[in-house]
Amino acid sequence: MKGCVFDLDGVITDTAKYHFAAWKKLAADQLALQLPAEFETELKGISRIDSLIRILNWGKIRERYNEQQIADLAVQKNDYYLSEIANLTAGDILPGITTLINQLQEHDIQLSLASASKNAPFILKKLGLEKRFDAIVDPAKVAHGKPAPDIFLEGAAEINLRPAECVGIEDAVAGVQAIKAAGMTAIGVGNPQELQQADEVVASTAELSFVLLESVWRRFNN
């Protein structure tokens, strides 16, 4: 194991609630839709445009919007989101993640971020972690979003490693599918039944450690 490729939301920090608050505001203000709380799971781990299209399809209003209008709505959602996360601090890093990063770097493991969020650099800066990562994938540069493997393949490439030399960490089904499709060892954070494609699942980020990641990697690479 030479590299670790992280997702952001739900792994390093939890901004899902801010994303959904922004989507609910956009839906109410711009689309005259009231998103139910359970719809949040439909948007987990996928890109902004894909999320918006799911909302439009759910509201049965997709045909009313052309590509430019969809792009404009996505920008508006991001503005709502940025105002929501403006007050993020290091206190919003999920339990155990700072310790895990320290352990990985002590063992000379390269760190890469593979998030669908275009705001990842901004969020890492707010958390005080922007200098801890060796690479941050720009999701605009990859052809296909999760569950396609593209962003994790790029995450490995940007730290000059083969996917098989890396462990990926995700909390979303689409993300775990992307890690496995990329040929990486997959660690899931969350519900084992939902994330059953992962090679190992922990209930909380507090359970993550270098020892755990390396042992799982060795189990599937020997």
Of 7, 150, 171, 199, which one is the catalytic site residue?
7
The token duo for 171 is: 């909390």
Which residues face 136 on adjacent strands? 113
The token duo for 196 is: 């059953």
Phi, psi values for residue 4, rounded to 5°: -130, 125
Whether 7 is catalytic is yes
Contact yes or no for 132/93 (Cβ under 8 A): no
Of 9, 150, 171, 199, which one is the catalytic site residue?
9
Of 140, 153, 129, 190, the residue nearest 168 (C-alpha) = 153
**Coil, strand, or helix at residue 11?**
coil
Contact yes or no for 16/44 (Cβ under 8 A): yes
Q: What is the DSSP letter of 169?
A: E
Whether 9 is catalytic is yes
* Whole-angstrom distance, CA of residue 57 vs CA of residue 62: 5
Catalytically annotated residues: 7, 9
